[in-house]
Structure 1
Amino acid sequence: MTHIWVRAEQRPSEERVGLTPEGAAALLAAGLRVTVEASHVREIGIEGYIAAGCEIAPENSWPDAPRGAIIFGLKELPEDGTPLGHRHIMFGHAYKGQSAGRVLLQRFSAGGGALYDLECLVDAAGRRVAAFGYWAGYAGAAVALKCWAAQRRGGICGPLAKYPGKAELLADLAADLGTAPRPRALVIGALGRVGSGAADLCAALGVAVTKWDMAETAHGGPFPEVLEHEVFLNCILARPGCPVFVPVSVLTAPRALRVIGDIACDPTSDFSPIKVYDRATDWAAPALRVATAPVLDVTAIDNLPSLLPREASEDYAAQLLPSLLTLGDLGAGVWGRAKAEFDRHLAAL
């Protein structure tokens, strides 16, 4: 019997989950065994999973799960260096030259486990079968505008907290922006899920958006238009051949640009298109000030959808469920393709 073990998230400010109680009931009906860890932070309470018939395990007990269980979480595991012997479904962030990626792969190598990276779950045409992209874009644009509003008040964006839903987020942000003229925003990757979310958030708040995608960036740069907008939102994942949208020279160039929202957030990747910063920001300190004359802040948070954890979880879980229902055959389909990608990177260690 295929056994999926939904672990509690251990990262601060991470309240999302990739399986809802309704999805768990569907897996159980399909003959899978489902264990869900208790969690003191998960947005969706444990009661629904109990009612669905799931087995309940103590919080953070996944290291002691049966070796055959498939451990399912979203964000990174504790960086304690222990070998990883289970098969894990998660966002590994290990395949683009990230500094921590090699360490994670070495842990799988040492333990004999395997990574089925959620970013690598793709259909036969190479399109991802599930993504948090829309809500990442929506929340990322919101944080960028909060950074701009804080600048207008003469400060820098303070700590963030989750919202019950997008209506509450919009109300809070409208209060932050007040009656001041809205900034102009440039969204790169506007035709994708992330860019669509970013553009929708801006439109809801009366922010004029210039929408760019592959056609507008195909020439490879430079991109002086970035400097002509107060807010720049990068919604394109770092990949080999990705153009540089924001070179270091921007820091000393004349510019209207005041906030960079690197929603794709891959600053340690060799292919990052934004070269004015080198580390992610977080909920406690969302903005990194990289220039002062004039001010330029970068916000780059890698779990943005957790700002709206319920909506993001329900949307993502619905997208992923059809693939979870095929877990009985890990050698085929989306799982087989993800395993092949893991094997390729493991062999390159």
Structure 2
Amino acid sequence: MKIGIIREGKNPPDKRVPFTPDQLKTLQDEYNGQLSFQVQSSSIRSFADEEYAEAGIEIVEDISDCEVLFGVKEVPVDQLIADKTYFFFSHTLKKQPYNRKLLQAVLEKNIRLIDYEVLKDEQGNRVVAFGRWAGIVGAYNAFWTYGKKTDLFDLKRAQECEDLLDLHSELAKVTLPPVKIVLTGSGRVGGGAKEVLHSLKIREVSAHDFLHLYYDEPVFVTLSSADYYRRKSDGGYDKREFYMNPGLYESHFHKFAEAGELMISGAYWNPEAPKLFEMNAIAADDFQLSVIADISCDVGGPIPTTISSTTISDPVFDVDRETGEKLPAFGSQTSISVMAIDNLPCELPREASQEFGKQLIKWVIPELLEENSSVLERATIARDGDLTIEFIYLTDFVNHHE
């Protein structure tokens, strides 16, 4: 089996890779005779062509000889090669309209699309993800944003840090008043964000104490959906019911927006679930949040102030509390500053790629050599020009032609 590492074609460019040069060398040695690898030449990767070549990996311009192609972000429609198996984050599972044409092209070109986001073990847990790195960089950027907004401290950008160790060293510059910080999400993203909060030695408190107690030091709370969603009929909460039928629930997040000043949002959101708050709520005198770092970055999703995503080169915009309009970053003390970079791990691309590659080596490479891998089957969105049964719910999405 010949495996290709494609050049990332999405703009802005993504510097991450599915496998590092050393990882491909190890795989080529271990699976000698079973697997071979080619890397499509690229000038934007965090690992240069020369590093792959020095590891004994063939660099090519034309990748069409390979049966299986690995990327990171969505592949531009005009770069898709028919009749191949592709691995990448397609961002189509929530019927994202901006990727409708991508999924239509996948079907037209008879491509087998395996999406990293739905690669799961037998228990249904995701097995490959950049979530931890999104959490680390997103939380760091939350404090970078807070420093810019308050003028209390000045951090260099995460992308200017040499590595994770350097990033943690930079956090030593942070000096905080007794600010209350809201963190949503307890998965990989939330765990990565907590690494930054712990590095800053910020104390974690319960939801009750966060709302009701005064502190003379900065504190944070980790919220789950049970903390800010309640059943419309009686105010109760049942986790299984909520995940099966979120439309039965409403948000009561506002009390945390009254208590907190900085929010780090890292929770998964079901499009059928209520928003955490409505845009008109930010005009209320008691809505205290002034910095929102939306790591999950669902535009039009649970955080209405995420009017659009942002980029590494232009990471923050402000939202006017009265009008809800998007403003230039840090133009007003009274507005809300929103950090919504949609490719956060790209700020520490080499280390993020290395960890991602380890996950692929453990969970995906052995499965490629299985005749009928259940792991790969469950993550296959499209094959033979059709959606698979698991993803048949996307039919109306792909059949819609604008």
- Structure 1, residues 276-307: CA drift from partner, whole Å, max 9, x if none? 23311111211121125722011111110111
TM-score normalised to the size of structure 2?
Answer: 0.76
Distance (Å, rounded) in 2 between the aligned partners of 1:319 and 1:121? 11
**Alignment of 1:164 onto 2:162:** yes
In structure 2, what residue type is equivalent to 1:283? I
Percent of pairs identical after alignment? 30
What does 1:233-312 correspond to in 2, within 5 Å?
233-254=264-285, 255-268=287-300, 272-291=301-320, 294-312=334-352
Higher alpha-carbon deviation: 309-318 or 157-166: 157-166
For residue 35 of structure 1, what is the aligned residue in structure 2? 38
- Structure 1, residues 4-44: CA drift from partner, whole Å, max 9, x if none? 10012234352211112333234322221211123223223
DSSP 3-state at the match of 1:56: strand
DSSP 3-state at the match of 1:168: helix
Contact 1:151/1:157 (8 A) holds in 2: no
In structure 1, what residue type is equivalent to 2:340? A
**Alignment of 1:221 onto 2:251:** yes
For residue 243 of structure 2, what is the aligned residue in structure 1? none
Distance (Å, rounded) in 2 between the aligned partners of 1:124 and 1:274? 32
For residue 12 of structure 1, what is the aligned residue in structure 2? 12
5+ residue gaps in structure 2?
A: 203-218, 231-249, 321-331
Contact 1:226/1:245 (8 A) holds in 2: no
**Which of residues 313, 318, 321 is equivalent to 2:353?**
313
How far does residue 151 in structure 1 lie from its aligned partner after superposition?
0.9
Distance (Å, rounded) in 2 between the aligned partners of 1:283 and 1:48? 25
DSSP 3-state at the match of 2:251: coil
In structure 1, what residue type is equivalent to 2:347? L
**Alignment of 1:230 onto 2:261:** yes
Distance (Å, rounded) in 1 between the aligned partners of 2:88 and 2:361? 14
Contact 2:159/2:347 (8 A) holds in 1: yes
Distance (Å, rounded) in 1 between the aligned partners of 2:183 and 2:371? 37
DSSP 3-state at the match of 1:232: strand
What does 1:1-349 correspond to in 2, within 5 Å?
2-10=1-9, 11-28=11-28, 29-30=30-31, 31-58=34-61, 61-62=62-63, 65-66=64-65, 69-78=67-76, 80=78, 84-153=82-151, 161-175=159-173, 177=174, 179-181=175-177, 183-189=179-185, 191-207=186-202, 208-219=219-230, 220-223=250-253, 224-254=255-285, 255-268=287-300, 272-291=301-320, 294-322=334-362, 323-329=364-370, 331-340=372-381, 342-343=387-388, 344-345=391-392, 347-348=395-396, 349=398
Distance (Å, rounded) in 2 between the aligned partners of 1:16 and 1:145? 24
How far does residue 161 in structure 1 lie from its aligned partner after superposition?
3.3
Alignment CA distance shift 1:7-1:340 (3 Å): closer
Alignment CA distance shift 1:51-1:81 (3 Å): closer
DSSP 3-state at the match of 1:325: helix
In structure 1, what residue type is equivalent to 2:223? W
Distance (Å, rounded) in 2 between the aligned partners of 1:188 and 1:263? 10
Distance (Å, rounded) in 1 between the aligned partners of 2:165 and 2:281? 35
Distance (Å, rounded) in 2 between the aligned partners of 1:206 and 1:230? 18
Contact 2:262/2:290 (8 A) holds in 1: yes
For residue 236 of structure 2, what is the aligned residue in structure 1? none
How far does residue 198 in structure 1 lie from its aligned partner after superposition?
0.7
In structure 1, what residue type is equivalent to 2:164? K
Distance (Å, rounded) in 1 between the aligned partners of 2:290 and 2:270? 25
DSSP 3-state at the match of 1:326: helix
Alignment CA distance shift 1:136-1:96 (3 Å): same
TM-score normalised to the size of structure 1?
Answer: 0.86
How far does residue 232 in structure 1 lie from its aligned partner after superposition?
0.9
Contact 2:24/2:37 (8 A) holds in 1: yes
Contact 1:81/1:107 (8 A) holds in 2: no
Higher alpha-carbon deviation: 20-29 or 144-153: 20-29
How far does residue 132 in structure 1 lie from its aligned partner after superposition?
0.9
Distance (Å, rounded) in 2 between the aligned partners of 1:326 and 1:280? 35
DSSP 3-state at the match of 2:59: strand
Distance (Å, rounded) in 2 between the aligned partners of 1:56 and 1:257? 49
DSSP 3-state at the match of 1:195: helix
Structure number with greater Rg is 2
In structure 2, what residue type is equivalent to 1:289? D
Distance (Å, rounded) in 1 between the aligned partners of 2:343 and 2:27? 26
How far does residue 76 in structure 1 lie from its aligned partner after superposition?
2.2
Distance (Å, rounded) in 1 between the aligned partners of 2:79 and 2:48? 30
DSSP 3-state at the match of 2:369: coil
